[in-house]
Amino acid sequence: MKSDNSGEHFLQLVVNEMRANLHSQLQGMSAFVHSVETGSFTAASVRMGVSKSATGKSVARLEERLGVRLLNRTTRSLSLTPEGQAYYQSCLKVLEELNTAESLLASHKRSVSGTLRVNLPVSFGRLCAMPVLMAVAEQNSDLDLDISFTDRRVDLVEEGIDLVVRLGDTGDQANLAGRRIGTQRSFICASPAYLDRRGRPASVRDLGDHDCLAFARDGRPLPWAVADRDGSVRSLVIQPRHTVSHGEALRDATLNGLGLAYLSTWLAGDDILHGRLEVLPIQTPPEDVSIFALWPRSRDLSPKVRVVVDALVEAFMPLPPWDRDIAPVLGAL
């Protein structure tokens, strides 16, 4: 009896169709982006090494598939429609991810060597990132590290920095590429001695009766993030009695009973675990901010940057190590 290969044949047809569709989609996106950046199909075709008609047809097929007009065409110029503007930004992200993936694969073929200039947040860098970087340096004898610490927003290109770690707001990423390497969770905490002396606030309304400590960046106290009963998150602008611009010093002030503080688990997790700090029953979001590694935007991600970024992701994802030991405590909150 002959075997029935019709199922395998059909599957192969489906795979071939998917490949053809994917190729067409990427071709259309590339033609669209180059047309926007150059201002004409003619210039885009020169950049891509194809004919003008091929470029125009790729964009037309893209518009037909999406069911919207992306470009307004005149005899002299092209301009983006509102839908085209939104789609253009999405295309840039997709193409950047593809370029980064290709660079990552290519970089594995080259050795990790040279000097890597890294900029880290002061407290998070020393407590959390430095152990990872030291392990990477130990495993790569030809890699030299030049590490700086600051909580200000450095300009990577202008200051010649290869890699920066940022908590939360990544700033202007027009000339940067990046990867999410972890998450941060924070709670409103105080020492048991302070709470025994001043009472335990149970709601946001009660905070006005207490001394609050704030972390200051660029001379301005940062707000606290609180979660309402419906799960929505809002920024709480506090009127602090004391402001501190160093994370570990802020934790020390809280431990010494100076007041309430909004502290991240990577900074205060061990103190929470061992009862030196008490978490207040005021809900905060399950994820305060994301933690990013950023580097100058380039088609060629160097091996020295890649190996550090990979190590940070492996160390901090999916559950940050600073949350593992206190997970039972956090779950009860």
Give the integer Cα–Cα distance in Å for 290 and 309.
15
pLDDT at 92 over 90: no
Q: What angle do CA 219, 225, 231 make, to 5 degrees?
A: 165
State the CATH class of domain 186-279: alpha beta
Fold of 7-107: Arc Repressor Mutant, subunit A (1.10.10)
Q: Residue 38: is it exposed, middle or buried by C-beta count within 10 angstroms (0-12/13-18/19+)?
A: middle
**pLDDT band per the 50, 70, 90 thresholds, residue 22:** low
In CATH, the number for domain 114-181+290-316 is 3.40.190.10
Residue pair 48/55 in contact by the 8 Å Cβ criterion: yes
* Contact present, 211 and 254 (Cβ < 8 Å): no
Beta-bridge partners for 67: none
pLDDT of residue 330: 67
For 36-40, 114-118, 200-204, 225-229, which range has the lowest pLDDT when averaged over its residues?
A: 36-40
Q: How confident is the model at residue 86 (pLDDT cuts 50, 70, 90)?
A: confident
For residue 10, list its beta bridge partners. Answer: none
Q: Are 105 and 310 in contact (CB under 8 A)?
A: no
For residue 318, say if its preceding peptide bond is cis, omega within 30 degrees of 0.
yes
> What is the model's pLDDT at position 3?
44
d(Cα 177, Cα 298) in Å, to the nearest integer?
A: 8
Residue 174's pLDDT band (cuts 50, 70, 90): low
Evaluate if residue 223 carries a pLDDT over 70.
yes
- Alpha helix stretches (DSSP H) within 39-81: 41-48, 52-66
pLDDT-above-90 percentage for the chain:
46
If one compares 102 and 106, the residue with the highest pLDDT of the two is: 102
The Cα–Cα gap between 162 and 301 comes to 10
Question: Same topology for domains 7-107 and 114-181+290-316, yes or no?
Answer: no
If you average pLDDT over each of 95-109, 202-216, 288-302, which comes out highest?
202-216
CB 101 within 8 A of CB 301: no
For residue 120, the model assigns a pLDDT of: 97
Residue 1: its pLDDT value, please? 42
* Helices 130-139/303-316 angle, 10° precision: 130
Residue 188 dihedral angles phi and psi, to the nearest 5°: -85, 120
Residue 126 DSSP symbol: I
Q: Where are the domains of the chain?
A: 7-107, 114-181+290-316, 186-279
Which of the residue ranges 19-33, 58-72, 253-267 would you say has the lowest mean pLDDT?
19-33
Using 50, 70 and 90 to split pLDDT, how confident is the model at 17?
Answer: very low
Return the pLDDT at 313: 95
Buried-exposed string 85-111: b where 16+ CB fall within 10 A, e elsewhere: eebbeebeeeeeeebbeebeeebeeee
Radius of gyration of the chain (CA): 26
Is the confidence at residue 33, as pLDDT, over 70? yes
- At 165, the pLDDT band (50, 70, 90 cuts) reads very high
For the chain, where are the alpha helices, taking DSSP H only?
6-38, 41-48, 52-66, 82-107, 122-124, 130-139, 156-159, 192-198, 247-255, 265-273, 303-316, 321-324, 327-331
Least confident of 92-96, 130-134, 288-292: 92-96
> The tokens of 280 are what?
């207040």
pLDDT level of residue 194 (50, 70, 90 thresholds): very high
